[in-house]
Amino acid sequence: MIKSATLYTNNLKALRRFYGNVLELDITEATAEQFTVRIGESHLSFKQSEQPAFYHFAINIPGNQFSMMKYWMLDRVTLNREEGRNEVYFPSFDADAMYFEDPVGNIVELIGRRKRDLFGDLTKESFLNISELGMATPHVVEVGDQLLDLGIPLRDGIEVEPDELNFLGRGDAFIVLVPLGRRWYYSKKVSESYPVELTWNDTHIKLNEDGKLTF
């Protein structure tokens, strides 16, 4: 499980307004240099940096609320499209997904797990937890092997593929390990390496600006 993640941005104020006012999520901590937003069982933090950065991450939502969430989101953002469609079904995950970009260009995915339901009205509790966090690096195999040594399993296969998307994790939480220059799905952006931190269960993991992993 991804308990927390920390991303970097050069426009902290715009992101704080977006996640607090547009998505109406709880801001649990805020200073001039960073803020943290609660996403169900997870926490997502943004830290001020001098350089712009963008990331891909996904948030789990209940499968039975996917349509309600989509209409709610359409009042607030423009959903990204791929081949004319603004949603997609992933058979291998048994989940539906929609994508949008926040004010600094982070590619955010809402993924509705069809086997996970939440009954009642749509609320901030419908944002269940961080589902995926993208890590782009020129050292895909090296970083992947380090994650495997930590006990984070590879979803498909036994070897990390240097030129492909690699999903490491289990259940409904994954680190998405990708090489540089690969186009993110439902986006025109290609993957670039930026510092990122996360807590996987009780292990704190950091990818530095050179795309190397530290613990």
Give 190-202 pLDDT, tens digit per residue. Answer: 999 999 999 999 9
> Nearest-5° angle of CA 208, CA 214, CA 215?
135
Successive 10-residue mean pLDDT values, the chain, 215 residues: 97 98 97 97 97 97 98 98 97 96 98 95 96 98 96 92 95 96 97 97 95 92
Residue-level pLDDT at 164: 94
Going along the chain from its start, the domains and CATH numbers come out as 2-214 (3.10.180.10)
Tens digits of per-residue pLDDT, 29-64? Answer: 999 999 999 999 999 999 999 999 999 999 999 999
What is the CB neighbour count within 10 angstroms for residue 103? 16
**What pLDDT shows up at residue 109?**
98
pLDDT of residue 105: 98
Phi, psi dihedral angles at 70 (to 5 degrees): -65, -45
pLDDT of residue 143: 98
According to the model, what pLDDT value does residue 158 have?
85
- pLDDT the model gives residue 57: 98
Tokens of 30: 């805020």
Query: Sign of the CA dihedral 145, 40, 77, 194?
Result: negative
